[in-house]
Amino acid sequence: MIKKVFLLGLMVCSMTMVAQTEGETQPQKKESWYFKLGGSYFVQTAATEFPIVSGQLPNSDVYADNGTTLISRKTNHGSFGEGVRFGGTVGYRFTTRLGAEMGINYYMGNNKTMVETTHRLAGAGPTFVDGTAEGRIKALDLSPALVLFLGEVHHFEPYTKVGVIIPIHGDLTIETNRTYTNPAGITNTYSKDVVKPKATVGFQAAVGTSYKLGSHFSLFGELEYRNFTVHGKSKETEVYTENDVDKLYTPTAFRPDASYSASHVNYVDELNSGSNNPLFNPNTGTANPNDTTRPNEAMNEISSFVGISGLGLTIGLKYTL
């Protein structure tokens, strides 16, 4: 990472020196507004271990025929910063060199495998389970930034910018598909959990250039690095089915606890005797000892986080007034 930052600094310094040399012969630009529309594709950077999903560690586990002997395990890690983005930007150029932008972007991340299980013994019968949990982030954000223009040369005008990312809407959707197999038959289950985030702020930095097509229109391209971390605020199971039949609030053999607390979570920084969590307050007087003492309230779980970091290329069209 340090090498990447160092190389980026060298690129910026080199372009600045070229622009200063060539810019002396260029006419001074007046203050102006401009607008940009573009699309981006990001690849992930700074991969981290995924959080626990519904009590399961973020691993890909494979079991032997007996369903209990673990024969391989791989930790699942990555960043939700890989995906596509579409957005628009309003910019204002104060001087020949300095400007400011405000962008609004819609980001759709690629699916990431968070948990995977192969042939695990899951209960009497015997019952074996195979399944995968995949997560995907969608977000709408604002991205204010300062822009340094480095001078126009042969219709090309390189620039750099640095700013912040302010998510205003979004969530992490985790879809889990499991297949339970026993002598009685096969049961396919599906659940959709939606995690709402806490407020956060991220960082962005970019180098780019525009190419003038005429007096008002230009093409532009940017290489952008973005990075921020999102902590969970709450989680809700919005869908749970067995063989395509809605079972969200129906106790079943594969989901015996169908209370409100089983499908709603409030994330906290610490679990203690006052938490609505079966590890601290088990309700042993019920048929299911994993019930909480307050089944009509959201479960409390420790807050986890995911990383959204990526390096992306943006291409689009710019209109200058």
Tell me the DSSP string of 21-36. Answer: HHHTTSPPPPPEEEEE
| Ordered domains of the chain (ranges, CATH) | 2-320 (2.40.160.20)
| Amino acid occupying residue 144 | P
Give Dmax over CA atoms of the chain in angstroms.
85
Q: How far apart are CA 177 and CA 210, in angstroms?
A: 46
Q: Are strands 59-63 and 112-123 parallel, antiparallel or unpaired?
A: parallel
For the record, the structure tokens of 214 come out as 């005429």
Q: What is the pLDDT of residue 23?
A: 43
Cα 49 from chain centroid?
13
What does each of the 321 residues of the chain score in pLDDT, given as a tens digit? 434 443 444 444 444 444 444 444 444 556 799 999 999 999 999 888 898 888 889 999 999 999 999 999 999 998 899 999 999 999 999 999 999 999 999 999 999 999 999 999 997 779 999 999 999 999 999 999 999 999 999 999 999 999 999 999 999 999 999 999 999 899 999 999 999 999 999 999 999 999 999 989 999 999 999 998 999 999 999 999 999 999 999 999 898 888 898 899 999 999 888 888 888 877 644 555 556 668 889 999 998 889 999 999 999 999 999
Q: What is the pLDDT of residue 2?
A: 37
Closest by CA to 150, choosing from 18, 314, 320, 318, is 18
Q: What is the pLDDT of residue 19?
A: 43
Q: How far apart are CA 108 and CA 110, in angstroms?
A: 7
Q: Are 320 and 34 in contact (CB under 8 A)?
A: yes
pTM score: 0.85
CA distances from 70 to 7, 50, 125, 185 (A): 44, 21, 20, 24
- DSSP code string of 231-245: EEEEEEEEEEEETTE
Q: What is the pLDDT of residue 281?
A: 79
